[in-house]
Chain A
Amino acid sequence: MDLSKIPNDKKLYLCKWYFRGKIPGFVFLPFLWAVNAIWFAKEAFIEPHYEEQKQIKRYVIFSAIGASIWSFALLAWIITFQTQRAAWGEFADSISYIIPTGIP
């Protein structure tokens, strides 16, 4: 979708929609936040001023913060899990979806 071709109020609606995720479990949508932050970055900071821009800017910033916190947490978990999996033994196996073959 080309953002330049849609009206401003629709842009705000879209940005909000991406931020809230529409469904209650919006906190689990870090990828949606990341997309939102990148996609609307130009609208929020570069485009000339228009009425809804302030709100869009807010959503973009929050999306960016949310996405980075999420990716940091995810990265931390992935590193912990991958390095400690063998040491955790049976517990690690029980929370794994795919168990690697041939290694502890």
Chain B
Amino acid sequence: MAKCLHYGYLLIFFVINLVAAERIKDMIYMNFEGVAACFRRHNGTHQFGCSYKASRSGSVGVIHLVEDEDDIRWLEHNATAGDYTVVLTFSMFTRDILLQLKNMNNINGVLLAKNSSQPLPEFYSPEDTCPNRYSGYKQCNDDVLVDWNPHGSSLLMEDWPFPMFYTENQTLVEAVRSCFLKHNAHDIENQQHRPLCALEMKSFMFAAINSESCIKRSDFKLNFNPTQFCDPLGDRNIYWPLAPINQDKNSVILVTARLDASSLFDGISPGAGNVVTGLVTLLATAYYLNTLAKDAVVNKTNVVFCLLNGEAFDYIGSSRFIYDLKEGNFNALGGVNLKFDDIKSVIEFGQLTEGELFLHSNNAQNDEVIKKIQVALNAKILEGSVPPTSVQSFLEERPNLTAVVISDHGQQFKNKYYNGILDDAESLNFNKYSAILMSDGLATALAKIATSVAEILYEDVFGARPFVDYDSSHLVEFYVSEMLKCYLETAKCTLFQAASSPNAKLANQVLSLYVGVHRVPNTATTLTGQLLAFLTREEVSNMTEAMCYENHLIWMAGINNTGLCINSTVNYSTAMSPAFIIDGYDMKSGMYSTWTESIWQTLSVRMFLKPSAATERLTMILGSSVAGVSFILKNDKLLGIRCGPHINGTVGSSRGRGCSSN
């Protein structure tokens, strides 16, 4: 009896321990929060991005800090501890090194760690030297050697057989480094005999081969348990017409900018120099033109502002826009069918910074508006030059269309981090404090472009010079710097708050401008659309929130968060490639964008101490022996243990009670 009591206490002790103590999992592993993963994408013919061979359970590799070429050579020739996970800084995260790692067969993962104490790399662009090489009007063929993006390493255009993650969390970087130094680095030739610091990365991707096959697999109807493999990229384009579109004949100047950037890592696509500058300039131009044209009436020419999405992936937004125009399906503007012939000219805001400006001009010799813009901005004309942006789509459709791109670069980008994770506020030298004082060089430069273009457009549309007062043009600069803050520092900013519904919760982080998959609405697009509506608003006074909604108007917070009812003509259209809506489209034809993104289940990284191979073997042998012995013990016949009563004349289960040896 006393013995039973003891066992009872012991049981209670174990139960309490089990419930109260730290979980074994947490004692073994250190989870990495806030790491960004490289994931898999497809186009019509290929597979890009990262995934571990074919294992869902994650890939494990012993940490090795790579600081120079010698470390790579050591990994290739002298490494003994099986599979490795390489930890790199930006200086080593180059195409050559990564290709070397790809060709070795003992690399199970790459962790890119940003070391804030080191200076930023001179350049880092994972994009191709000629972005969107195989699509658009002027493709980069071998006979026309144009390197728009001279620093491009084409990392985005490779299929990596190992997972890659990125972290800028200095605590994590330090933890990895100290764990490596403590366990792995000393007596490195004999490291395989000790427990070693290792990383486990999970980023298993479902899709494979190419877009065509993964879409077909997703649509596979015979399967009772259908799995999604991939989704087409896409989102929405945003439009705002200066005046209502006519039912019959239109003459429209299109002012466009791109809305999306890309990068190798999930959730980080700041696109500061690449996209934000042009985007903000477009918004400011729309705002200013709207202020100037408050009471005027449009007679023959109209202006339509459009923000095109998915342009980083073979011009998804612009090609769909043009497809819709041609098919007579484009009615996002007041339900009127706009036609491609209605487009008089296209003006695109490309990458912009302070300093010299260029006009990449096509068929614009006789265009008054373009001439005036050239003079006002003192821009250098590059005749017949077509940078890899949205105009490529328009010119492909009609090579004699008047189209210009206003940009800060000539034949080569000035942006050193094009479509990279470092293309952020820091690379633009954007300083929030100077922006508050409104003496920021960038904001001033962009505001100047916006006001000049808006005034020239006004003159062309209304046939008279606008009345310009100092205040309103000054306000443009204020809005530009506020908008830059929204896109470069944090989405939790005055203007986004003002343009959202009251009490809307905005994330305190830099928006990722990656277009994403078409079935998930992109936050950046939504906020930008609302911001454009707010900037070009027609206020409806004396409205409560309920009345505002009843009249199908938009209720916004407004600058001082008091609530504001506005009437807006901003609208969206689908920006998903025509390739996915045309029946029987040949995905290999290269006519339209065919980009898709793979589905994944988990993206995670954790660090732990991996036992040496000898210990692992011992554990395995011990485990198997115990399992074997227990199997033998269980087998009653071998030991002659007879169990239980006879049921229906057969021998009862040995698991039953009442076993006795005979």
Contact = CB atoms under 8 A, between A and B. Distances in A.
Contact of A102 (B51, B213, B216, B225): B51
Contacts of B216: 90, 93
Instruction: Indicate the member of A89, A93, A99, A101 with the most B CB atoms within 10 Å.
Output: A101
Interface in B199-253: 204-209, 213, 216-217, 220, 222-223, 225, 227, 229
6 contacts: A93-B217, A94-B222, A97-B222, A99-B217, A99-B220, A99-B229
A89 B206 contact: no
Interface of A: 89-90, 93-94, 97-104
B213 A93 contact: yes
A89 B213 contact: yes
B10 interface: no
Contacts of A90: 213, 216
A103 B227 CA distance: 14
B517 to A, nearest CB: 17
A102 B213 CA distance: 12
A99 B206 CA distance: 10
A102 B56 CA distance: 9
Nearest to A98: B223
B59 to A, nearest CB: 12
A103 B216 CA distance: 15
Interface of B: 51, 54, 56, 204-209, 213, 216-217, 220, 222-223, 225, 227, 229
A97 B223 contact: yes
A101 B229 contact: yes
A103 B220 contact: no
A90 B51 CA distance: 22
A89 B217 CA distance: 11
Contacts of B209: 104
List the 8 closest pairs (A to B, CB-CB), nearest first: A101-B206, A103-B54, A104-B209, A99-B217, A104-B208, A103-B208, A102-B54, A102-B205
A77 to B, nearest CB: 19
Contacts of A94: 220, 222
A98 B208 CA distance: 15
A102 to B, nearest CB: 6
Given A101-B227, A103-B54, A93 B220 contact: yes
A55 to B, nearest CB: 29
B101 to A, nearest CB: 20
Contacts of A103: 54, 208
Given A89-B213, A90-B216, A93-B217, A102 B223 contact: no
B69 to A, nearest CB: 32
A97 B56 CA distance: 20
B208 A102 contact: yes
A90 B200 CA distance: 34
A89 B208 CA distance: 11
B551 to A, nearest CB: 49
Nearest to A93: B217
A97 B222 CA distance: 7
**Residue from the set B208, B227, B229 with the largest chain A CB neighbour count within 10 Å:** B208
A101 to B, nearest CB: 4
Contact of A99 (B51, B54, B223): B223
Contacts of A89: 213
Contacts of B222: 94, 97
Nearest to B598: A102
B229 to A, nearest CB: 7
Contacts of B217: 93, 99
A6 to B, nearest CB: 14
Contacts of A93: 213, 216-217, 220
B207 A102 contact: yes
Given A97-B223, A102-B207, 18 more contacts: A89-B213, A90-B213, A90-B216, A93-B213, A93-B216, A94-B220, A98-B225, A99-B220, A99-B227, A100-B54, A101-B56, A102-B54, A102-B56, A102-B205, A102-B206, A103-B54, A104-B209, A104-B213
A45 B213 CA distance: 55
A94 to B, nearest CB: 8
